[in-house]
Amino acid sequence: MNNGEIVCTGLVKTYNVGQPNEFKALRGLDLTLSEGECASIIGPSGSGKSTLLNLMSCLDTPTEGEVYIEGIDINSLNGFEKARLRREKLGFIFQQFNLIRGMTSYENIELPMRFKGLPPKERKKRVTELLDLFGLEGKERNKPTELSGGEQQRVAIARALANNPKIILADEPTGNLDTKTGEKIMDLLLRLNQEEKKTLVIVTHDQRIAQQTCKVVEIQDGRIK
Ligand SMILES: Nc1ncnc2c1ncn2[C@@H]1O[C@H](COP(=O)(O)OP(=O)(O)OP(=O)(O)O)[C@@H](O)[C@H]1O
Ligand SMILES: [Mg+2]
């Protein structure tokens, strides 16, 4: 089964449908990302990059058009099936990290595995493995406010990878980091693409980041340029 493939066809996203301030953020967008592909999505502020990523993430539904994840039309899924697909196939990374404030690094990374219903022993093994992989040993008990930006983003990436998804979707993952820390985070993401053949989609403003990906998708006014 087309592992890690994402196909978008004729995507239209209209916000505030029928209202005077109706706005078409996507105006008919087609995009195919194959298994193991590494793509960046670039374009001016407001061009529809996050909108597109949210549709690919099943966080939002298109006004028209379809998104297929591994051949499955995500619109055909019910809420329960969608949640499972998100939990098991997709990993998300956000510019603002979006960690849960009241939880430690350990608990944040463990959370998707709890939702999946993995037994405690297996969860512990995987969290330990991820803490180690991302150089977060000694930080497992820290809450997000007790971590640096780069550390928070590493926890967020570890959390995104907890259930070993085939697809990683990242919206400005280095936007809140200094150049050097941002480079380290990019190296990590690119390694996951190269070594584990995960499909990687990165929204970025940064030309230097876009240059590191195999495919650059440029969006302007809700369409591919
Ligand atoms: N919930 C919403 N309701 C109304 N309009 C919205 C909503 N979300 C986004 N928009 C509009 O849709 C357009 C695309 O937004 P989007 O967030 O996709 O842009 P972007 O390319 O990610 O920009 P940036 O680089 O600034 O993050 C913008 O003009 C925005 O104002
Ligand atoms: Mg955005």
Q: Ligand 1 within 6 A of 46 CB?
A: yes
- Answer yes or no: are the C-beta atoms of 165 and 89 closer than 8 Å: yes
For the stretch 116-144, pLDDT in tens is 999 999 999 999 999 998 999 999 999 99
Q: Flag whether 224 is in a domain.
A: no
For the stretch 57-108, pLDDT in tens is 998 999 999 999 999 999 999 999 999 999 999 999 998 899 999 999 999 9
Q: Flag whether 209 is in a domain.
A: yes
Task: Give the mean pLDDT of 171-186.
Answer: 90
Q: Flag whether 1 is in a domain.
A: no
Q: Tell me the C-alpha distance between 2 and 71, whole Å.
A: 7
Q: Flag whether 11 is in a domain.
A: yes
- What's the domain range around 100? 6-219
Q: Tell me the C-alpha distance between 112 and 212, whole Å.
A: 29
Candidate from 13, 19, 51, 217 with most ligand 1 atoms within 8 A of CB, to mutate = 51
Q: Which atom of ligand 1 is nearest to the CA of 51?
A: 18
Q: How high is the pLDDT of residue 1?
A: 58
Q: Flag whether 187 is in a domain.
A: yes
Residue of minimum CA distance from atom 12 in ligand 1 = 25
> Among 4-8, 36-40, 108-112, 206-210, which stretch is predicted with the lowest mean pLDDT?
206-210
Q: How high is the pLDDT of residue 214?
A: 94
| pLDDT range class, residue 2, cuts 50, 70, 90 | low
CA of 190 to the centre of ligand 2 (A): 21
User: Structurally, how many domains does the chain consist of?
Assistant: 1
Percent of the chain with pLDDT over 70: 99
Q: Tell me the C-alpha distance between 142 and 164, whole Å.
A: 23
CATH number at residue 53: 3.40.50.300
Q: Flag whether 225 is in a domain.
A: no
Q: Flag whether 118 is in a domain.
A: yes
Of 149, 54, 135, whose CA–CA distance to 92 is shortest? 54
Q: Flag whether 87 is in a domain.
A: yes
Q: What is the 3-state secondary structure (H, E, C) of 174-200?
A: CCCCCHHHHHHHHHHHHHHHHHHCCEE
Mean pLDDT of the chain: 94
How many helices and strands, by DSSP H and E, does the chain display? 7, 10
Tokens of 171: 């919206």
At a CB cut-off of 8 Å and minimum separation 6, what does 201 contact?
A: 6, 33, 39, 40, 41, 53, 56, 167, 168, 169, 170
